[in-house]
Amino acid sequence: MSGYKVPADLGRRAFLRNGSLLLTAATLKTGTLFAENQSPSVRIGLVTDLHYADKNPGGSRHYRETLDKLEDAGRQFQQDQPAHVVELGDFIDAADSVEVEKKYLRRINKEFAALPGQKHYVLGNHCVDTLTKDEFLGEVGQKHSYYSFDAGGFHFVVLDACFRSDGTSYGRKNFQWTDPNVSKEQLEWVAADLKESGKNTIVFVHQRLDVSNSYGVKNASEVRQVFEESGKVLAVFQGHSHKNDLKDINGIHYCVHRAMVEGSGPENNGYSMLDVFADGSIRVTGFREQQDYQWDS
């Protein structure tokens, strides 16, 4: 893979302070994230929508280039040493056969698995377009499509919105991508999980919980109600619509990350480092086309 150099100045960035969105000059990216000396309680690397496939570009999507873009992110992650790395879905793009799809998955996962920290795979609709959930999860060595874990005194939840409205799991071309849902069983589980944990929580999901258009989870309002009633969810990190976006709904930040597959060349990459501090403040340091955010506790 060719080597990329991360530029020091990535343009203008967005920061959220006390509910107001502000634009400031980009932070100089060096070995230390932001100017303050405060150390985070936990650091997590984020990537999304790699759509890796060994095939020619389709429109703005450059499938083969995600190998180099992931290597680009990997150099930053090796420098910053996150304890966890999360891919927010659509890890692979669809193939014509199960065997070819598994080759795509094995190839990109070889690079992803080599990153520092514990790895987490959020299911996206493209992950289970050709494969079943069990096939995808079996290849990457993850037991469940939704689960939770604790780190640095905080609680983290991985959700799976790849269910049809009738409760059937996505898999092997049995769904429409515009019909994502969090299953009833899963919704009951997350409500109980948040109650049992009692810790401030961050959620990872592929499809969006903050919109009602084709990119949104159909029962998103029910999911948000569970989050709000818990009083513990600080932020939700999402992929799926490929562009930077941010919404604040009833005190919870819903942050959409920039897709890695979009555009040719390293300048069109996007990934971030998520730092969570003991007081509940959150900093997202974006690289390339991913925006920065800072949320005070």
Mean pLDDT of 203-229: 98
* Residue at 1 is within a domain: no
pTM: 0.89
* Residue at 24 is within a domain: no
What whole-number distance in Å separates Cα of residue 137 and Cα of residue 135?
Answer: 6
More confident residue, 95 or 4: 95
User: Worst-scoring range by mean pLDDT, 10-14, 81-85, 168-172, 186-190?
Assistant: 10-14
* Residue at 13 is within a domain: no
Q: What is the pLDDT of residue 11?
A: 32
Mean pLDDT of 34-53: 89
The residue segments making up the domain with residue 177 are 41-295
Mean pLDDT of 252-276: 98
* Residue at 34 is within a domain: no
* Residue at 81 is within a domain: yes
* Residue at 26 is within a domain: no
Gyration radius of the chain over CA positions = 18
What whole-number distance in Å separates Cα of residue 67 and Cα of residue 81?
Answer: 20
Contact criterion met (CB below 8 Å) for 47 and 87 = yes
* Residue at 194 is within a domain: yes
Mean of per-residue pLDDT scores for the chain:
90
For the cut 80, the answer to whether the pLDDT of residue 9 exceeds it is no
Mean pLDDT of 208-221: 98
Q: What is the pLDDT of residue 32?
A: 37
Task: Give the pairing of strands 20-25 and 12-17.
Answer: antiparallel
Sign, CA dihedral 71-77-81-85, equals negative
**CATH code of the domain in which 210 resides:** 3.60.21.10
What type of residue sits at position 63?
A: Y
The tally of domains found in the chain comes to 1
